[in-house]
Amino acid sequence: MKLSHLSETLIGSEIVKLGGEIREKIRQGERIYNFTVGDFDPSIFPIPKELEDAIVEAYRKHFTNYPAAEGNLDLREAIHSFIKDEQGLDYGISEILVASGGRPLIYALFRAICDKGDKIIYAVPSWNNNHYTHFIEGEHIVVEATAASNFMPTAASIAPYVQEASLIALCSPQNPTGTTFKKEELEAICDLVIAENKRRGEGEKKLYVMFDQMYWHLTYGAIKHYDPVSLRSEMREYTIYIDAISKVFAATGVRVGWSMGPATVIGKMKAILTHIGAWAPMAEQKAVANYLGKRESIKSYLSHFKNEIEERLRSIYDGFTQLKSEGFSVDAITPEAAIYLTIKVDLAGKKTADGKLLENQADVTAYLLSAAGLAVVPFYAFGADKSSPWYRLSVGTCKKEEIGEMIGKLREALIKLS
């Protein structure tokens, strides 16, 4: 049966494929250390109790009808206050749009700004920019980020393409890398955008920046979160933020997200979403509006939550550092933010104990799963080159007592290679 060009050309998800293999191994009774999912195990990382109680109470009060298309007024007022106090960004009510998490907002943003054939700049590895570009039939301008910049895009890598682009998709802290923009690098990218928009004529479409800051609360040590408008006030005209409760409150299934940006763009995004109906549920909106006002409770929750995530990230990082010091072909980037650790497992070309050659990185990924029970997502699943030996390791479902055991199993698997 012939279907639409879009449906016929959708790119299959490597993560979904890997997830299927993992589920099957678990079903067969195998011990799997599953670090693939960018989600949380609620038994380890529950949502804040006050938020949970507020959601239940909102349903008991029968908040089950349609919410406002742009998000309920009380929630947008709460977001305005929260972001102003916590991040120093002052967006008016008409400049805030609420939806059921970040995904529909990203889709609406791509649709609102970009036409078929428009050039969209994004770095790889990165989450889903390739798919959203495909949805709107844009032209992919792919910038390959490297370990030298902690897999964050640089102004120098973006500069050659800005004159013809409509959108730059940025994310910090970044999924999948768990790394962040340094102040000077983000400033340089902002300066490129400002200069380019000054160059464009009155009737020309401007160059916009999507800034996905879903993980901005989750930074560790001396790492600080930077954003375009805080660094360059002129970027306010050209920046649309993507944010949500999904990661900051371990609430991926609660589905409340928001965008902030120029009222004209936000208005068009709202118009698009009214036809899709991707509203955050009424009860959850009421609960989040209530919870965002409880700043001391949020501070207390985040203090514990961040400590638990950071402890896991650093423990695994230390394990990989030890393996590297023992001469194994592994590495890791010092954890900076989010729930992800960037690790390197460079085993292509080696042979297993039964003489099988690991010809490529897909073979390495399969070997890690079969020999060590270690399930991680290769960077090539996020658009990087198929030969990239780097991986995303997520700790959202990680039990601390399993970390030493996992490192030991990995060591055993590495010893068996020649």
Confidence band, pLDDT 50/70/90 cuts, at residue 26: confident
Say how many CA atoms lie within 13 Å of 126 toward its Cβ: 28
Burial class (CB in 10 A: 0-12, 13-18, 19+), 21: middle
**Would you say the pTM of this structure is higher than 0.85?**
yes
CATH code at 49-293: 3.40.640.10
Going from the C-alpha of 210 to that of each of 55, 57, 83, 168, 193, the distances in angstroms are 30, 35, 17, 6, 12
Instruction: Return the pLDDT at 406.
Output: 96
- The residues spanned by each domain of the chain are 5-45+299-415, 49-293
CATH code at 5-45+299-415: 3.90.1150.10
Same fold, 5-45+299-415 and 49-293: no
Question: Average pLDDT for residues 289-311, to the nearest whole number?
Answer: 98
d(CA 371, CA 360): 16
Which pLDDT tens digit goes with each residue over 319-348? 999 999 999 999 999 999 999 999 999 999
Contacts of 319-322 spanning 24+ positions with Cβ under 8 A: 319/403, 319/404, 319/406, 319/407, 320/407, 322/407
Q: Is the pLDDT of residue 17 over 80?
A: no
Question: Average pLDDT for residues 76-80, to the nearest whole number?
Answer: 98
Q: State the amino acid at position 37 in one-letter form.
A: V
Confidence band, pLDDT 50/70/90 cuts, at residue 78: very high
